[in-house]
Structures are given as C-alpha cells and as structure tokens.
Amino acid sequence: MARTPADLVGTRTGPSFEITFGDRSVPARPGQSVAAALWGAGILAWRTTRSGGRPRGAFCGIGQCYDCLATINGQPNRRACLVPAHPGDVVVTQEGHGHASLG
C-alpha cells in the first residue's frame, strides 16, 4: 500500500485558513507549522539577531537551532518550525531577544 507524504507526517485534511504576518495575510493548511506557512508565502525571515539586527528565519526546521524564533500571538521566542499554525494566528517580526519592553 503506497503512502503519501501527507500520510507519513500525519497531516489533517481540511480547508486552508489564514494567519497574519505583520500587515499581510498568509494562507496555511491544517497541520502546517507557522514556519512552513511563512515559507510557502515567500517570507524567509521573521526575526532579527540581538547583535547587528541580521535577518533570520528557519534554518534547521526541527527546533534545534532557534533561528526561527518569532513572536506568535504576543508570545516571544516561539520556535516557528515547531508551532502548528491555527486560524487567526498573529506573527510579528521578533527583534533581538523578543523582550524589548523589559529594557
């Protein structure tokens, strides 16, 4: 019996939905990570480094490198490659350590 990639990763079928990145609507599918949805929309960077403000996005894709940190629904330092996208999620560019309001 042949299995599809969707079967192998256990994705759920269903209608697509939208998440928001900044002022942009981004399509997502059930079971897709926030990073995958952003990549699919051509968004390759969603944080900047603490020193130098260099852009970063997904690097390893398995939650080991922390390059994909994002502020998701107001919570900083979320690994976008591990966070499942949900309808209405709001993702904003994370600058530095994600706690700018703390000084």
Beta carbons within 10 angstroms of residue 73's beta carbon: 13
Task: Give me the pLDDT at residue 5, please.
Answer: 72
Q: Which CATH topology does 21-97 take? A: Ubiquitin-like (UB roll) (3.10.20)
Indicate the domain borders of the chain. Answer: 21-97
| pLDDT tens figures, 9-39 | 666 678 999 999 999 999 999 989 999 999 9
Task: Give me the pLDDT at residue 102, please.
Answer: 42
Beta carbons within 10 angstroms of residue 71's beta carbon: 20
Instruction: Please give the Cα distance from 71 to 98 (Å, whole number).
Output: 7
Residue 39, classed as helix, strand or coil, is: helix
CA torsion sign for 85, 87, 89, 91 is positive
| pLDDT tens figures, 52-101 | 888 888 888 888 888 889 999 999 999 999 999 999 999 998 876 655 55
Judging by DSSP bridges, how do beta strands 90-92 and 17-21 pair with one another? Answer: parallel
